[in-house]
């Protein structure tokens, strides 16, 4: 049995098509998608393509943010400030049926296949879609997070970095395999292209195989431009595109620069950036 495991597609249709073409050569028995379907130039087309796979999908934190906006449950700043222009643009693009489909997806799920050990699929970490797992953390910290997971395999995403840990009878007894397939859209580990993983059931256990897939990054820039995302999404859209083009977390660097300006201005919450400081950040960032 073989599964193709994807995460963080972020409405990047060229990257998704490249991954699916690569996976098709291995004839997978199913597809698992660990959230963050939205946040890029082609949300409706990307989700429509994913739906043709009859895959196991969940929502990620980016998807949850759009749903909060759509339900009117987000903080007031999200509806007006330039800082959240990308999210507002993304919500505006979603068709009614796409929005309803996204809202119906779970945040976590367990996949139980006949004859194989079950898999738990989360986006960030169990119970916290926006909190990514980092294998570089102290092992005790990772063990603590995993303590509530009873399934032998945990699949996660969110960090845009591909990795896996196999316990092999030592610490971290449950789960015995933790897999992050990396990001279909915008890996942040230096990879310029797309990432996913193959999960193979063999010898009574699951085995992970990480894959890197090149594709034409220029098509993504064209999609950012033609869709209006680059113009309307502002500095954060530009930063996300640069992250895709470089394999580095330019978006996080830009946000750190913007938050630094608000902190120096003495604002009570450095994570809320007034428009004037957001514009200053865009003008002074080392793009």
Q: What is the pLDDT of residues 17-56, one digit of tens each?
A: 999 999 999 999 999 999 999 999 999 999 999 999 989 9
Spell out a b/e string for 75-97, using b for 16 or more CB atoms within 10 Å of the CB, else e. Answer: eeebeebbbbbbbbbbbebbeee
Radius of gyration from C-alpha coordinates of the chain: 19
pLDDT band at residue 275 under the 50/70/90 scheme:
very high
Cα separation, 33 vs 50, in Å, equals: 9
Q: State pLDDT tens for residues 207-246.
A: 999 999 999 999 999 999 999 999 999 999 999 999 999 9
pLDDT on residue 139: 61
Strands 2-6 and 30-33: parallel
Domains of the chain (ranges; CATH) run 2-213 (3.60.21.10), 228-284 (no CATH)
Beta strands 119-121; 194-202: pairing state: unpaired
In order, the DSSP letters of 206-255 are EEEEEEEE---HHHHHHHHHHHSHHHHSHHHHHHHHHHHHHSS-HHHHHH
The pLDDT assigned to 285 comes to 98
174-202: pLDDT as tens digits: 567 999 999 999 999 999 999 999 999 99
Contact 118, 112 (CB under 8 A): yes
Q: How far apart are the first and last CA of the chain?
A: 45
Which residue has better confidence, 256 or 168?
A: 256
For the cut 60, the answer to whether the pLDDT of residue 173 exceeds it is no
């Amino acid at each position: 049995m073989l599964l193709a495991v994807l995460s963080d597609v972020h409405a990047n249709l060229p990257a998704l098509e490249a991954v699916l073409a690569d996976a098709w050569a291995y004839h997978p028995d199913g597809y698992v998608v660990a959230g963050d379907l939205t946040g890029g130039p082609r949300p409706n087309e990307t989700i429509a393509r994913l739906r043709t796979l009859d895959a196991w999908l969940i929502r990620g934190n980016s998807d949850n943010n759009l749903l909060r906006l759509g339900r009117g449950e987000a903080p007031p700043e999200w509806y007006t400030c330039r800082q959240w222009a990308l999210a507002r643009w993304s919500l505006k693009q979603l068709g009614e049926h796409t929005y309803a489909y996204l809202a119906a997806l779970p945040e976590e799920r367990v996949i139980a296949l006949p004859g194989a050990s079950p898999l738990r699929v989360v986006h960030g970490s169990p119970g916290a879609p926006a909190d990514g797992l980092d294998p570089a953390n102290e092992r005790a910290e990772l063990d603590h997070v995993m303590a509530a997971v009873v399934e032998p395999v945990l699949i996660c995403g969110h960090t845009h970095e591909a990795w896996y840990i196999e316990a092999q009878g030592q610490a971290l007894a449950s789960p015995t395999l933790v897999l992050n397939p990396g990001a279909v859209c915008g890996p942040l580990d230096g990879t310029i292209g797309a990432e996913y993983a193959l999960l193979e059931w063999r010898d009574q256990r699951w085995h992970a195989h990480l894959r890197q897939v090149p594709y034409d990054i220029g098509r993504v820039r064209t999609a950012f431009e033609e869709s209006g995302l680059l113009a309307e999404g502002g500095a954060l859209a530009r930063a996300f595109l640069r992250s895709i083009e470089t394999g580095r977390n330019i978006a996080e660097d830009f946000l750190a620069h913007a938050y630094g300006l608000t902190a120096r201005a003495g604002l009570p919450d450095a994570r809320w950036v007034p428009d004037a400081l957001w514009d200053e950040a865009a003008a002074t960032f080392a793009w």
